[in-house]
Structure 1
Amino acid sequence: LLSIFIIWTMTAVLVYLAILRVIDRDYYIDADAMLITASCGVVFNMIIGCVLHRCGVDGHSHGDFSSSDIPAEQDFSPAIGHNDRVSIVGAGAGAAGTSVVQFPEMLKKKKPADNINIRAATMHILGDFVQSVGVLVGASLIKVNSEWKLADPICTFIFSLMVIATTVKVFRDVIWTLLETVPLDFAYKKLEADLRRIQGVRAIHDLHVWALTVGKVVINAHLAVDADHEFYEVQCEASRLLRFKYHAWYSTVQVEPYDRHVMAICKECSSLER
């Protein structure tokens, strides 16, 4: 977030200076000095960008477990591994495993999660790179014709807009994470529908989804299940659904017997029914 604010502050200062130049029209530009400085900026930012790209590709990633490595017909209970955290809360007996056949789309590969710090640093470098290119273009035009010195502020305006456009999405993702809201690309309604499809589930008491950071989604589900149905079986199926299809980094599944009187006065249930 600080990196983005630095970029925007720098951009605002450059735009302000460019506006003053457009208004005054009385300034001298050393095209040779601009060319040398801008060229160094472009080269250095390209080098740093390559280093960051290599860190993003080769760096250790958490939460990239894919269920495509699991046979579709294999039965098992939710396992807690290095990259997955599953919490099961509820009552009931039974040791029923479940199959992903009910949700075949679980077998799709998960996209590697973005690292928000790498993205922010990349946007910072990209902003510097774009500004350097803008200075380089303006200096080249002024070098060709000294009367074209207005090209300097014009290039500043154009490339400043490009910098803002490239950083807005990262800023939005950071704010959404700080507010602990549902990620914009998360299919909340589809998750709710999938949970209701699980055999034995009569209703959903509450369902909470938020992101700890980009690519690390936390899901808490509270399900009401038929009293004569195996609770553990429902927990297993729901946990697998959250882990494999929705790639929950941490999930909690709580179940309890369905009680229509309780459901009738539950405010959380009423909001989910709408």
Structure 2
Amino acid sequence: MSVSDAPAPPRTARKARTGAGPLLRVLQVLLLPVLLILGWWAGSASSGSFYMPTPAVIAGTFGDVWFGERILTDALPSIGRLLSGFALGAAIGVGLGVVLGLSAPLRAFSEPVLEFFRAIPPPVLVPLLMLLIGVNTPMKLAVIVSGCVWPILLNTIEGVRAVDPVLTDTCRCYGIRGRRRLTTLVLRSASPQIMAGLRQGLSIAIILMVISEMFASNSGLGYAVVEFQRSFAIPEMWTGIVLLGLLGVVLSLLFGLVERRVLAWYHGLRAVTRDG
């Protein structure tokens, strides 16, 4: 019997193979977190340390802490400052990066100054910004922007510089100039690196949001974690740390959805190139 004459696999078998992909993906996503939680549970239960409560204690405390007033006084203000600072840093980084990427003389002129400011750790600026701006929301936004702007700026510059010269000449030949050239060629060509810079900037923004609230603040997730630590409310302190981790996961997933939508053309082109 030839291969073409072989009987088709049963429908149930085809369904099983079809469903194996999503099931395997779910196992891959959940396996490591489950193992880490079990390891944490075993370690904390055996040690009996006051400073390392079990996941059951933290889970039981989580709802009491964050499903009440604190979500309005601490969590939401932190998320608002985080998103505002990140949006401002993205606007500055992409805007300035496009200008510097398109102009080699301007890029060479500003490079020493940019390298100087990039080398300064953003947490060091917190005391200075407190003196100049005050202990308020603008100071916290300035701290977030001072750190997250750099990966966005540098990736934008490199993305704009790497625009295909052939495509640039093609736009020139067809008279595509000004804003149309910027949107159809420059930003689209540089968008993969811009999105990479935005993803890095988002991670840095979360860190700096917490740091700015730990130094001098009366609200926010960073303030809450420090307040719980100082009052020896250890399970409550751990709930703040867990909430920050969950916030990072949610923002990463949302950013991934936006990235796939923005770079759909890029991923499609890579798939065609790979299959070809």
**TM-score over 0.5 (shorter chain):** no
Normalised to the residue count of structure 1, the TM-score between the two structures is 0.32
**Which structure is higher in helix share?**
2
**Which structure is higher in strand share?**
1
Normalised to the residue count of structure 2, the TM-score between the two structures is 0.32
Larger radius of gyration: 1
Bigger relative contact order, structure 1 or 2, given CA contacts below 8 A and separation 6+? 1
